[in-house]
Amino acid sequence: MLKSLYVDGHSLMHRLPVRPKLSALLLTSLGLFFVHQPLVLALSAALTGFVYFTLGLGFREALGRLTPVLFTIAVLGLFNLVLLSPQEALVSVLRLVAILFLAASVTATVKIADFIDTLTRIFVPLERLGLLKAADVGLAFGLVLRFVPEIAARYESLKEAHLARGLTVKPHKMIGPLIISTLKDADAIAEAIDARGIRGQ
């Protein structure tokens, strides 16, 4: 794997403990779904965007990390524009952008080990009730975060391979190889986990 989503820095977000950041993300995400005023959502998106773009990343890199998700939000906004009213489409886009910036800020300022440890502690009460294994949940979330930059990097490699061969880059043609290579890595990681007896503890 190439790199994580974590960014070294000394911003206020970096200094905040993990649990308050996760709590703020959860409460803000839920709260924004009850807001329907475009102006309020625009201000929220501007505020969370300011937080994200002042974490220490260059503007180009910071925007590049979010480009696929922003593209997806834009497509969703176009569908809503066709199916719903312009205001409802604008509200959905602004809400998702605000949540995206805040989520990206959290993932960029929390190391994966700290993230796993915090989630494990949060789910301990449910483990005591016999509903799940807290360590497994924390590990699963951590692996998801760790795979995001790896999948993005693999997509870029496939795109460069297509361009090197003079082929037109078509995302739908790269989905198959991308999924297959990702699943192979997932199997390798699962075998490594089992070999260390982590899931057997």
The terminus-to-terminus CA distance of the chain in angstroms comes to 26
pLDDT tens digits, residue range 48-79? 999 999 888 888 888 888 887 888 888 888 98
- Rounded Cα–Cα distance for residues 101 and 199 (Å): 34
pLDDT tens-digit map of 86-144: 899 999 999 999 999 999 998 888 887 777 787 788 777 777 777 767 777 677 776 66
Burial class (CB in 10 A: 0-12, 13-18, 19+), 38: middle
Indicate the residue type of 35. V
